Structure 1
Amino acid sequence: MCEQLDQISPETAPHKHYVAFRYVSPLTEETVPEVVASGAKRVVLFSQYPQYSCATAGSSINALHQYCQQHPLPPDVRLSVIDRWSTHRGLVRTFAANIRAQLERLPEQVRRQVVLLFSAHSLPLRAVARGDPYPAEVGATVQAVMAELGHSHPYRLVWQSKVGPLPWMEPATDAAIEAMAKRGHKHLMLVPISFVNEHIETLHELDIEYAKDLGEKTGASIYRVPAPNDHPEFIGALADLVRTHLAEGGGVRPQLLMTCPMCTNPACFPAKRWIGETVNRA
């Protein structure tokens, strides 16, 4: 991405990326000192979650705020945020291209029978009830991809990766597969619509637990579309997002600065206020 960004935005080059994870190394508190030590004066917080959720991008911003309360950023560092990009043209085109490629591998008579199951990471219903924007943003991605495909196949949005006893968003991916197979839908294609790369929730949950194990149990043929990964269109989309952001002066979208209507997390409002103040101090 940075190589492409150097080419399409030479006026802001050179560009360098750093990675900060929430739960594995390198953590936020490990990466931020490295960025500061590099002498960087222009820092873009670029969420790799296309669809915003308080549990993902929001949690990452809270973690950054918590760290910076104890270790303030130098006053000459200019900060801005790319917090969501669920309908970016390059993301949509990548998913559509990957779906088409998988469909083209099937015989024509099978291809016509395929139902697309867009599988996204689920959320507890209590988070949805608080007003988390994630379900709507995932739905927006699905609608954009289907429009790009010309609504060529029937489809549904389903939800995976539930943990714990609390009620989560439904229909669950595995339950949907079983129910649809019983109704005679024997050719199902899983699309990991909220994931941009392969990891345990695609390689194990989708490929083994669902495509293999449930496929054998139900007698359905279950195909899986790859995540965007290193697809050239996707890498171009990432570079374009940053180029456009920088060209427009950076900053932060008003949507990020608002908490959920029924927010109960005491960390959210201070973190969002801090982001707004830090970005606008430039």
Structure 2
Amino acid sequence: MANNKTAVVLLNLGGPDSLDAVQSFLFNLFCDPDIFKIPIGQKLFAKLISSLRSKKVREEYKLIGGNSPINYWTEIQREKLQKKLKSHSDDIFVFTAMRYWNPLIKDVANEIQKGNFKKVILLPLYPHYSITTTGSSFNEWFRYYYVNKDVLKIHNYHTNKKYIEAINARIDESLELFDDQIKKDVQLVFSAHGTPISLVKKGDPYSHQIKETINAVMKARNYSHEFNICFQSKVGPMKWLEPSTDKMIEKLATENKKHLLVIPISFVSDHVETLYELNIEYRHIAEKSGIENYIVMNGLNDSDIFVDALYELVMNELK
């Protein structure tokens, strides 16, 4: 009997599932050689930095419920995709593999290695390619996966029509939260996770792909509103992509643009950077600056349209 078994692996960041897991999660993050290139003593560096940062980060997670919802939403996306693929074939199995928390990529790679799959499709839950996200996950996968079988890598899907449609559906839902008389005056503020400028200079395509996504979103909605692009989550002293989201909020306030819909654009599920950074930390900045309406769009989370995009990507690879 022919073996047609296919493993679809949803690659994601992962997040601490309790406050006690925060320091270990940070340790795993700072051990990543694709983000922090430290030739000697990386584990020592990771131990020190994770210890120093864990108290502050614990407080952030405490304010959003004590854990990362990225694990919850990723599992829902996995279940929905599995159900959709089952209607096509009983030989396709969907797994989740996280870069910095359980289920870890190395454990899932080992499980799939033993599972006698004919084909493996790596599908990152990062629509935009960066060495710090998709690249790091691919590299980690091949540290542990040795089987000489087809491994298909989906590098990016930042202009996929279903993905763009999913974002626009969420934008439309969010616009309904504004009073009718101000809807047309709402500023769309697209906030993407930043990266150091040095990465851009090395050819990392992430920032260009973010702009291509935003252009596709706005084109699909016939440029319904004024829009802005900015970047969040800067760490360390290096120069990062600009303008920063906090500075953008302050700038719009000085221009008397007081109604903001903040759209997290490089995330497909809510986590600490949307629920804490955008919704709590930057909300304080907005209120202090005189912004009258400040709404943060929900992540794609359980969006059926987004799952349709993932289904389409898998089916394209199977063809």
TM-score of the two chains, using structure 1 as the length reference: 0.81
Counterpart of 2:314, as a letter, is V
Structure 1 residue 150: Cα displacement: 1.1
Amino acid at match of 2:86: D
Distance 1:101 1:62 in 2: 37
Q: Deviations over 1:63-90 (max 9, x none)?
A: 223334xxx22x3x22111111001111
Question: How far apart in 1 are the matches of 2:210 and 2:140?
Answer: 24
Counterparts of 1:21 and 1:165 in 2: how far apart (Å)? 28
Residue 214 (structure 1) aligned with residue 285 (structure 2)? yes
- What is the CA deviation profile of residues 223-257 of structure 1, one whole-angstrom value per residue up to 9, with x for unaligned ones? 1111111111111111111112211xxxxxxxxxx
Query: Does the alignment pair 1:39 with 2:116?
Result: yes
1:22 aligns to 2:22 (yes or no): no
- Deviating above 4 A after TM superposition, structure 1's stretches of 4 or more consecutive aligned residues are none
Amino acid corresponding to residue 218 of structure 1 in structure 2: S
- Matched-pair contact (CA < 8 Å) for 1:5–1:240: no
Is 1:227 matched with 2:299? yes
- Residue number in structure 1 paired with 2:314: 242
State which of 25, 35, 51 in structure 1 corresponds to 2:128: 51
Could you say which residue in structure 2 is the equivalent of 1:154? 226
Alignment of 1:26-175 (within 5 A): 26-68=103-145, 72-73=146-147, 75=148, 77-175=149-247
What code does the residue aligned with 1:217 have?
K
Instruction: Give the SS at the match of 1:19.
Output: strand
Q: Give unpaired runs (5+ residues) of structure 2.
A: 1-80
Secondary structure at 2:262 match in 1? strand
- Counterpart Cα distance in 2 of 1:233 and 1:65: 30
Query: How many Å separate the matches in 2 of 1:148 and 1:225?
Result: 18
Q: In the comparison of the two structures, how many residue pairs are matched?
A: 238
In 2, Cα distance between equivalents of 1:236 and 1:86:
14
Do structure 1's residue 5 and structure 2's residue 85 form an aligned pair? yes
- Identity over aligned residues, as a percent? 37
Which segment drifts farther, 59-68 or 91-100? Answer: 59-68
Unaligned runs of 5+ in 1: 248-282
